[in-house]
Amino acid sequence: MDTKVVDMNTMPLTWQHIKVFTISSLGQALGSGLATLIGIIIPMIQIIAHPQLTSLQQGLISCMSLLGIMVGSSVFGNLSDRYGYLTLFRICPALIVLASLFAYYTDGPLSLAIGLFVMGLGIGGEYSIGSDYISEIMPKKWQLLMVGAAKATAAIGSILVAVLSYFLLIKWNNAHEWYNLLLIIAAIAALMLFLRLRFKQSPGWLIARGRYDEAEKSVQFFLGKNVTIGTVKNTPPKEPAKSLSLKEFIKQGNTKKIIFSGVPWACEGLGVYGIGIFLPILVMSLGLESASSNSFEQIINSIEITTYINVFILIGFVIGLLIVNKTYHVKTQALGFVFAALGLLILLVGYLLKLPNWVSILGFLVFEICLNAGPHLLTFIIPQQIYPIEDRGTGVGLAASIGKMGGVVGVFFIPLLLSWGGPKLVLIVSIVVMLLGGLVTYLYGKQVLPRQEAE
């Protein structure tokens, strides 16, 4: 066994890092998987189980998890800066397990909405705390790539939930069984909680508070007895970082950072959650699924197409990860928004001119690849770059909260837009939002994250 002392910042990537990465990124996969599941459940409730459900009610139920994420991201992020990550890191999956079981056993639209909100609280905390653990434990040269890879697991979560739902629904052949799909979320969250029972406090959080001995013990738990926190240990002790309240944080000259990290995330949130959750419904509205007079078969067909599209979400993430350390993130994110808007424009033209289905599918694929290679990946990475360790939980949590606010607006209004103007209006509004995200990225990105600092 190698006993040579190594510095955590310069050591090579090891299986211990991969273990921390896996446990910390499960929340990303679960959050995206939940969004996919909602998109499957809503048409089942609407078309089969509760046909009286209005567009407004669809939007309200669908956005409940995002409302929970919006609250959970900022609240848990700020609490993690104040009291540490570990306890909250366990509370989050516990909340998701309890909420999913509640919705499963009570079986109804109202209880589903309540359960989704509480699930969202837990996932919101995951979005802040999980990325912080990864950022603080990975070697310096791997930090941004691994934080980005954590976000990429969202695509795996979507694909996994879509595939499981597809085969389970074929087996059950009954839309009234929709509530059983909630057990998928409960099982994944239970696994997360089990894996985190033997875990330690974030070494980065301990270092920021001058608790070097505890931090080194934590590092050695995660990475091995021969690993040290490096040069930080030998620097003169400084006054422990003061945890700021959310109000104090906003007043500390962080306005431009908040706009740059939050507003594009909100615009991206409409594409990821607004279009993502209602993708099966949009596929049916655009007439892309196989023709069938049976409503349940239409849902099954739309899930199949949704799964294929989700594969291209993963491809987009892979492309983004290949270039994440080689490009200027502001430019990449801005161009990602522009090309995502182009994909939606292709989809719109295909729909209006009644072009062959392959044109519309091509538009979907361009949109998904460009959105996920650029904005979806980078809006998760950028807060880690621009906020210091002492209040990173608050900064990342606030950015995620603003991002989910965009998702809430998108999810709430897309059913209404469909009822007011059909897919045409949904696509036009989405194109405008994508272009807005690109514009804000361009205007604020160069001020907050100059090219030389990004490199």
Which pLDDT belongs to residue 235? Answer: 47
Model confidence at 305, pLDDT cuts 50, 70, 90, reads: confident
Is the pLDDT reported for residue 285 higher than 70? no
List the CATH number of the domain containing 178. Answer: 1.20.1250.20
- Asked if residue 193 is part of any domain, the answer here is yes
Please compute the mean of the pLDDT values over residues 373-386 and round it to a whole number.
89
Please compute the mean of the pLDDT values over residues 405-426 and round it to a whole number.
83
Please compute the mean of the pLDDT values over residues 280-301 and round it to a whole number.
67
Please compute the mean of the pLDDT values over residues 325-339 and round it to a whole number.
94
- Asked if residue 366 is part of any domain, the answer here is yes
- Asked if residue 1 is part of any domain, the answer here is no
Model confidence at 242, pLDDT cuts 50, 70, 90, reads: low
Are the C-beta atoms of 83 and 394 separated by less than 8 Å?
Answer: no
Which pLDDT belongs to residue 3? Answer: 65
More confident residue, 253 or 111: 111
- Asked if residue 59 is part of any domain, the answer here is yes
- Asked if residue 144 is part of any domain, the answer here is yes
Give CA 397 to chain center in angstroms: 12
- Asked if residue 416 is part of any domain, the answer here is yes
Q: How many Cα atoms sit within 13 Å of 51 on the Cβ side?
A: 4
Supply the DSSP symbol for 7.
E
> How far apart, in whole angstroms, are the C-alpha atoms of residue 162 and residue 164?
6
Model confidence at 14, pLDDT cuts 50, 70, 90, reads: very high
Which single residue is written with the structure tokens 């434990």?
Answer: 137
Model confidence at 205, pLDDT cuts 50, 70, 90, reads: confident
Is the pLDDT reported for residue 257 higher than 50? yes
Model confidence at 272, pLDDT cuts 50, 70, 90, reads: confident
- Asked if residue 184 is part of any domain, the answer here is yes
> How far apart, in whole angstroms, are the C-alpha atoms of residue 297 and residue 181?
17
pTM value is: 0.79
- Of the candidates 422, 428, 392, the one whose C-alpha atom is nearest the C-alpha of residue 81 is 392
Which residues span the domain enclosing 131? 6-454
**Coil vs helix vs strand at 227:** strand
- Asked if residue 365 is part of any domain, the answer here is yes
Paired tokens of 218: 């934590």
The number of domains in the chain is 1
